[in-house]
């Protein structure tokens, strides 16, 4: 979708206000969501971006006759300030990614008898309940039956139509029937005889199917309803080929039109006990379920199941990390040669994205990037979710730090890695910041912890070296990662904004990122990120313990380190890591890339 300029945004807000007057609406809320509560949205549901011009993946737009604001967290503050400039829309800073301060704002600013509108089809059920409670206390009406975007967005994109395909063995290590059997066992344990799933990665996981309806995530738009004997996937006509439909039907899986999910739920028999996850369905979807049906609310069993990769999955992920690491070595060798060539044309941040994607595309099993590459040089590195575009980017020249956060979707796994490299001459202040971030990454990477420890509790370990120097960073330390699925996956989250709930327990087989950072707005940003796998680390009288196997294989730029700040054990961790990287990647490389790897993995 083309990012609008400020004058277009002003006009779109005016059109939405006109529609609000027509329907007697006093405030309009546009969340960043679709009917499946996806993080990355099909273009049809990128309404907040269309209306505001703010392109971050998280944000809530609220429009009143007098004001407009976008609520977003610290990851996006710098970006939002830039993109909202000149639009008349105010940046409203959320103190954490999980905050719902905009609800407090609505309750404080709307008056008795006024009406707030939000499209119920994209309003999360859990948020809707908080919103309803706050508005009821102020005698403010909530309307969820209007989609005002449809009224003013003349060229709104249609639903995506990319085909659905199978994720096949050997990469799919467990069969559809096996996963369905596990799910039905969990349903039986919860005394449920029906289960509705709306989250797209859960559906893709359960049925060993993949698609391309959302950029960077191999998923497709669908709902699924599971009964004790059969399952139905509600998906747009034509997306599943006849042969695949037949194969699914033979395994007890039916295919029905996407739009028929509402009627199917409305027609559930009276003796139904339906399991739903209140954090993973929308208010609109919940309205499809008739009052006669008993509803059980709990986390989707598939959310827990897909977070725990099997031993066979882990084998494929390790092989994928080797291919991804080899691609990165080829890229970084090219980067250093290019920067050293004074006769070349200027190198831009946009070219970084093209070259790193091309390097991955030469590797077996590569499907697509796993998110939009972040390549930020100098001050742009301090914008946590920066995105260089042809219209707005920096030239990489002179002296400074270049931050590159990128990843790939492969048949055998999903990758996500951040590295910071020196360009030209860097200062000891650069190196000090880099080394403190590295110390945090090493501290958590080397941690041993009890099985079942709540993942948010681990966050402070990575921050401690920075806290000791009076520093911090405004994002979580780690997120779960899918297996050829979404690059951001729950239920585990190593973040201070996540609640340490039972489902956040760390279990064997989970893959999580470790990515502390440090950002100096207008100067530079640093983030160092590896993916790690939870694995058994012994039994003691105090119970079972886990530790992390580092999966990511790519050198960390030792030119950016102040060695005097590293303890002996930290230096040993880094040298051991680099020895592993060199051993596992060398057989996949030759020429300049191999020479680069050898140089960049020398003992510190």
Say whether both 471 and 549 belong to one domain: yes
Please tell me which residue, 311 or 99, carries the higher pLDDT value. 311
Say whether both 345 and 457 belong to one domain: yes
- Yes or no: say if 58 and 76 are a contact pair by the CB < 8 Å rule: yes
pLDDT (0 to 100) of residue 344: 79
Residue 158: inside a domain = no
Say whether both 231 and 336 belong to one domain: no
The CA distances from residue 263 to 145, 234, 256, 266, in Å, are: 17, 11, 11, 5
Say whether both 101 and 215 belong to one domain: no
Say whether both 355 and 341 belong to one domain: yes
User: Does the pLDDT at position 569 exceed 80?
Assistant: yes
pLDDT (0 to 100) of residue 417: 98
Residue 404: inside a domain = yes
Say whether both 258 and 315 belong to one domain: no
The 3-state secondary structure of 274-334 reads: EEECCCCCEHHHHHCCCCCCEEEECCCHHHHHHHCCCHHHHHHHHHHHHHHHHHHHHHHHH
Burial of 247 (0-12, 13-18, 19+ CB in 10 A): middle
Kindly indicate the confidence band of residue 547, based on its pLDDT and cuts at 50, 70 and 90: very high
- Interatomic CA distance for residues 408 and 412, integer angstroms: 11
For tokens 């020429």, name the residue.
Answer: 591
Domain end call among 152, 179, 214: 152
- The least confident of 76-85, 272-281, 456-465, 472-481 is 76-85
Residue 291: inside a domain = yes
pLDDT (0 to 100) of residue 40: 87
Q: For residues 340-359, b (16+ Cβ closer than 10 Å) or e, as one string?
A: eeeeeeebbbbbbbebbbeb
pLDDT (0 to 100) of residue 342: 76
Does the N-terminal peptide bond of residue 566 adopt cis geometry, omega within 30 degrees of 0?
no
Domain end call among 252, 283, 305: 305
Say whether both 420 and 448 belong to one domain: yes
Cβ neighbours of residue 211 under 8 Å, at least 6 residues apart? Answer: 162, 163, 164, 165, 204, 218, 219, 220, 221, 239
Mean pLDDT for 236-254 is 97
Mean pLDDT for 219-244 is 97
* pLDDT tens readout for residues 292-334: 999 999 999 999 999 999 999 999 999 999 999 999 999 999 9
Residue 535: inside a domain = yes
| Helix (H) or strand (E) segment spanning residue 106 | helix 101-109
CA angle 305, 307, 311 (to 5 degrees): 85
Say whether both 414 and 535 belong to one domain: yes
| CATH code for the domain of 65 | 3.40.350.10
- Interatomic CA distance for residues 70 and 497, integer angstroms: 19
Domain end call among 256, 277, 305: 305
| CATH code for the domain of 518 | 3.90.230.10
Token pair in block for residue 4: 């609008």
Neighbours of 267 (CB within 10 A): 11
Q: 526: domain range?
A: 308-597
pLDDT (0 to 100) of residue 98: 58
Write down how long the chain is: 604
For the chain, the average pLDDT equals 95
State the alpha helices, DSSP H only, in 343-475. 349-361, 428-445, 459-467
Residue 603: inside a domain = no
Residue 512: inside a domain = yes
Mean pLDDT for 63-92 is 90
pLDDT (0 to 100) of residue 322: 98
Say whether both 493 and 438 belong to one domain: yes
Say whether both 240 and 131 belong to one domain: no
The fraction of the chain above a pLDDT of 90, given in percent, is 90
Token pair in block for residue 199: 């989250």
* pLDDT tens readout for residues 338-388: 999 877 788 999 999 999 999 999 999 999 999 999 999 999 999 888 888
Say whether both 424 and 462 belong to one domain: yes
Name the pTM for this structure. Answer: 0.92
- Yes or no: say if 13 and 148 are a contact pair by the CB < 8 Å rule: no
Question: Could you write out the DSSP letters of every residue in 151-176?
Answer: HH-TT------PPPEE--TTTS-S-H
Residue 102: inside a domain = yes
Residue 461: inside a domain = yes
Neighbours of 536 (CB within 10 A): 11
Say whether both 137 and 173 belong to one domain: no
Token pair in block for residue 454: 């709540």
Q: Tell me the pairing of strands 400-406 and 417-423.
A: antiparallel
As for how many domains the chain has, the answer is: 3
- Yes or no: say if 529 and 418 are a contact pair by the CB < 8 Å rule: yes
| Helix (H) or strand (E) segment spanning residue 576 | helix 568-585
- Interatomic CA distance for residues 3 and 400, integer angstroms: 29
User: Does the pLDDT at position 260 exceed 80?
Assistant: yes
pLDDT (0 to 100) of residue 56: 87
Kindly indicate the confidence band of residue 2, based on its pLDDT and cuts at 50, 70 and 90: low
User: Does the pLDDT at position 97 exceed 60?
Assistant: no
- Interatomic CA distance for residues 480 and 308, integer angstroms: 10
DSSP strands (E only) in 41-144: 60-63, 68-72, 90-93, 115-117, 141-143
pLDDT (0 to 100) of residue 343: 74
* pLDDT tens readout for residues 417-440: 999 999 999 999 999 999 999 999
| Partner residues linked to 63 by β-bridges | 28, 68
**DSSP code, position 477:** S
């Amino acid at each position: 979708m083309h990012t609008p300029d400020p004058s277009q945004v002003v006009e779109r807000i005016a059109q939405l206000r006109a529609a609000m007057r027509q329907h007697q609406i006093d405030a309009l809320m546009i969340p960043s969501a679709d009917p499946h509560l996806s993080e990355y949205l099909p273009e049809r549901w990128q309404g907040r971006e269309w209306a505001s011009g703010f392109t971050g993946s998280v944000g809530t737009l609220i429009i009143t006759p007098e004001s407009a604001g976008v609520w977003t967290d610290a990851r996006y503050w710098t970006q939002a300030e830039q993109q909202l400039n000149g639009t008349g829309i105010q940046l409203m800073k959320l103190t954490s990614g999980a905050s719902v301060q905009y609800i407090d704002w609505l309750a404080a600013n709307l008056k008795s008898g006024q009406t707030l509108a939000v499209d119920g089809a994209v309003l999360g059920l859990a948020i809707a309940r908080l919103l309803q409670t706050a508005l009821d206390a102020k005698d403010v009406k909530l309307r969820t039956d209007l989609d005002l975007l449809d009224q003013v967005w003349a060229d709104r994109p249609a639903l995506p139509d990319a085909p659905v395909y199978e994720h096949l063995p050997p990469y799919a290590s467990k069969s559809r029937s096996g996963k369905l059997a596990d799910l039905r066992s969990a349903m039986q344990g919860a005394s449920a005889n029906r289960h509705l799933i709306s989250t797209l990665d859960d559906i893709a996981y359960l049925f060993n199917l993949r698609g391309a309806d959302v950029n960077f995530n191999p998923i497709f738009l669908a709902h699924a309803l599971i009964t004790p004997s059969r399952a139905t996937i509600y998906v747009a006509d034509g997306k599943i080929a006849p042969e695949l439909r037949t194969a699914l039907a033979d395994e007890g899986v039916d295919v029905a039109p996407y739009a028929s999910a509402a009627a199917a739920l409305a027609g559930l028999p009276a003796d139904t006990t339906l399991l739903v996850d209140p954090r993973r369905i929308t208010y609109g979807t919940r309205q499809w379920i008739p009052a006669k049906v008993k509803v059980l609310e709990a986390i989707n069993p598939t959310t827990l199941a897909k977070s725990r990769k099997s031993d066979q999955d882990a084998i494929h992920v390790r092989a994928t990390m080797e291919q991804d690491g080899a691609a990165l070595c080829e890229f970084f060798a090219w980067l250093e040669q290019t920067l050293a060539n004074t006769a070349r044309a200027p190198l831009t941040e946009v070219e970084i994205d093209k070259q790193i994607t091309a390097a991955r595309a030469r590797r077996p099993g590569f499907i697509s990037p796993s998110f939009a590459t972040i390549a930020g040089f100098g001050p742009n590195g301090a914008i946590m979710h920066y995105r260089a575009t042809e219209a707005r980017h920096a030239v990489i020249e002179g002296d400074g730090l270049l931050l590159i956060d990128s990843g790939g979707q492969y048949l055998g796994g999903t990758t996500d890695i951040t590295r910071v490299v020196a360009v030209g001459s860097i200062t000891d202040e650069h190196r000090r910041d880099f080394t403190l971030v590295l110390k945090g990454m090493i501290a958590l990477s080397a941690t041993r912890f009890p099985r079942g420890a709540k993942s948010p509790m681990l966050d402070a370990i990575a921050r401690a070296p920075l806290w000791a120097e009076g520093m911090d960073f405004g994002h979580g330390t780690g997120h779960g990662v899918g297996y050829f699925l979404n690059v951001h996956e729950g239920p585990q989250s190593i973040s201070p904004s996540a609640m340490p709930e039972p489902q956040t327990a760390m279990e064997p087989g989970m893959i999580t990122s470790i990515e502390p950072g440090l950002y100096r707005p207008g100067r530079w940003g640093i983030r160092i990120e590896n993916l790690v796998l939870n694995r058994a680390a012994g039994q003691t009288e105090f119970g079972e313990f886990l530790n992390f196997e580092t999966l990511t294989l790519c050198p960390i730029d030792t030119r950016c380190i102040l060695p005097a700040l590293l303890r002996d054990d930290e230096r040993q961790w880094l040298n051991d890591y680099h020895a592993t990287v060199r051993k596992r990647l060398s057989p996949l490389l030759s020429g300049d890339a191999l020479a680069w790897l050898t140089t960049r993995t020398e003992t510190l």
